[in-house]
Structure 1
Amino acid sequence: MRTFDDMLNEQLKDIDFRKEYEDIQPEMDVIRAIIDARTAQNLTQKELSKRTGINQADISKLENGTRNPTVSLLKRLAEGMGMELRIQFIPKNKKA
């Protein structure tokens, strides 16, 4: 039985697929950070909605990738979870 990782690693050998996958990685990182922070505190989307004043449906859209958050919205989510928002620019690895 093939695992997801096996299938992904096979598909990443395709240059076009790899480029598309890498292009969406920042968005996926934001989604994963929101979900991880919320679930680490055992919060439902509804509970987070009450804390932040952000509609639960909008939180769902953020988490499933159909809505892109603004920095202001990310700050509200962080505040609602008692967290600080940090955004970093990290140098790319240069190939020699």
Structure 2
Amino acid sequence: MKTTKYEDLLAENLKDKEFKKEYEALEEEFEVAIEIIRLRLTAGMTQKELARKAHTSQAAISRLESGNYRNVSLAFLRRVGAVLGVKPHVSFQ
């Protein structure tokens, strides 16, 4: 089975003007999702393992990693971060 790196797939999709416009509108959400995925994989954990250690469901971790987390709380991000050995940082620009 052939696999594709996320970065390669993203670069290809960003050539499409409509995709690029939508991606840029959601860039902050994707940045958080990508960072959580990176940290989880670096820790060698599955979504299920992260969820168990953060006292949440695998579905909640999946939503977080998909960027589909409109009402995520800072407390939730702290719990997930604590398991991954990091703290969330929030700023306004």
TM over 0.5: yes
Aligned residues: 84
Q: What do the CA deviations read for 1:9-65 (whole angstroms, capped 9, x no partner)?
A: 3x2xx4x65442211000100110111111110011111112110111111121123
Out of 31, 36, 39, the residue aligned to residue 37 of structure 1 is 39
Q: Provide the aligned C-alpha RMSD in A.
A: 2.1
Question: Aligned residue for 2:54?
Answer: 52
Write the mapping of 1:51-90 to structure 2, written as runs, cut at 5 A.
51-68=53-70, 69-90=72-93
The normalised TM-score by structure 2 is 0.73
Q: Rg: which structure is higher?
A: 1
Gaps of 5+ in 2: 1-7
1:21 paired to 2:23: yes
Q: Distance in 1 between matches of 2:52 and 2:19?
A: 39
The code of the aligned residue for 2:14 comes to L
Q: Distance in 2 between matches of 1:27 and 1:74?
A: 13
The normalised TM-score by structure 1 is 0.71
**Alpha-carbon distance change, 18 to 7 in structure 1, aligned in 2, over 3 angstroms:** closer
Query: Identity of paired residues, percent?
Result: 32
